[in-house]
Amino acid sequence: MARDIAPRRALDPAPDPQKVRVPRRSPTVAAVVVTCNRPAQLRATVLALLAAPLERICIIDNGASSGTPDGTAAWLAAQADPRLIVLTPPRNLGGAGGFALGLAELEARDDPDWIVVMDDDARPAPGAISQFRAAPPPGWDAVAAAVRDPSGRIAEMNRPARNPFASLTRFAAALFRGRPAFHLADADYLADTLAEIDIASFVGLFLSRRARHLAGLPDARLFIYGDDVLHSLHMRALGLRIGFDPRIRFEHDCSTLQGSAWIYRPLWKAYYHHRNLLLVFRAAAGRWLFAPMALMHLLRWGLRARHYRRVERPVYLRLLRLALLDGLRGRLDRPHEEVLALAAGSRRPPSRHVPPQVPARGGPKARTAAQEDAA
């Protein structure tokens, strides 16, 4: 008995691999913020980050070990957002140690595509994170945002730069023109394309997974200042590319430096600034040009004593002398308590030393704003 057989449907042709569009996965982005006893600034930054499309937000609270409650811990604990991670090290690790700790924590948890770092007084402009996620610049291992102060002016301490010792032409220009010869110009902030740089600050710097895995962590022993410059130079020495994207904007409400006379508040910060800047000179200039660079700046730093109050001048000069000795010897293990005691006027600071509780330098994950003086 014959049966009606439905005609077989012709098979659809195989799709052309060249025409298949695979949906592009949005990159994962997390943030690290280091804070120390600045609750108002931190709250503004955390609220800005919570409003942004971030997978994780890691806060390093260096002030939790001070024994002086400022409301930060309670306020952070009251934030119910599961993306928020708060780490409270047993002692103040400084910015360098805090960034190293936060980066290591995020890598151990999720290892996101990008991690953006910032101080507690810095924050992304509305839409900045969304803009970066929508189209992360291809071909770059790290991307520096355009940082401005609350009034909209360019934040000088965060102005990206190129290594003035990388070429004879650039070095000669730096000798005659100074800082403007190797820092980006105002016009670069108005461009719509990225500019390649050698030095970026840890305010609005996006670090790719490749950059983190190859360059490791910032050097936690630096405590504050110069960790961003040295880490940038380290990335460049490894052949990694750092780009400045003027379309991604951050705000930095910084008040460490007072006026144009380079007066540090609090005074102990002068020690780290000058010690670490010697390390920056050595890394950027190399063996032969380091000595004349150091000598040239020594006089300038000594003359800055006149800008301090009379009672502060001998303290500043003692801090400067210690910074020079430690910087020339490459000593990075001086306890922070000694620096604080010296800044308070004590000539015999305590010698107790407690090493930072962060991942050690030298392993596969370990490596490392003094750039304003590199003129």
Give 125-170 pLDDT, tens digit per residue. 999 999 999 999 999 999 999 999 999 999 999 999 999 988 778 7
pLDDT of residue 169: 83
Cα(320)–Cα(318) distance, integer angstroms? 5
- In CATH, what is the architecture of 29-257? Alpha-Beta Complex (3.90)
What is the value of pTM for the model shown? 0.84
Confidence (pLDDT) at 20: 42
DSSP state of 306: G
Q: Report the C-alpha gap between 205 and 217 in whole angstroms.
A: 14
Q: What is the pLDDT of residue 180?
A: 75
Amino acid at 197: I
Query: Tell me, what's the pLDDT at 225?
Result: 95
CB-based contact 370:357 (threshold 8 Å): no
- Rounded Cα–Cα distance for residues 371 and 225 (Å): 8
Helices then strands, counting H and E runs in the chain, come out as 10, 11
Q: How far apart are CA 341 and CA 12, in angstroms?
A: 79
With a cut of 50, list the residues of the chain below it in pLDDT: 1-12, 15, 17, 20-23, 258, 260, 349-354, 360-375
pLDDT of amino acid 288? 76
Residue 160 CB neighbour total at 10 angstroms: 26
What's the CA dihedral at 111, 112, 113, 118 to 10 degrees?
Answer: -110
> What does the pLDDT look like over 188-205, one tens digit per residue?
999 999 999 999 999 999
pLDDT of 251 reads 98
Strand 205-208 versus strand 114-119 pairing type: antiparallel
What per-residue confidence (pLDDT) applies to 13?
Answer: 53
Q: What's residue 358's pLDDT?
A: 57
- Write down the domain spans for the chain: 29-257, 263-373
- pLDDT given at position 256: 55
Looking at residue 47, its pLDDT comes to: 98
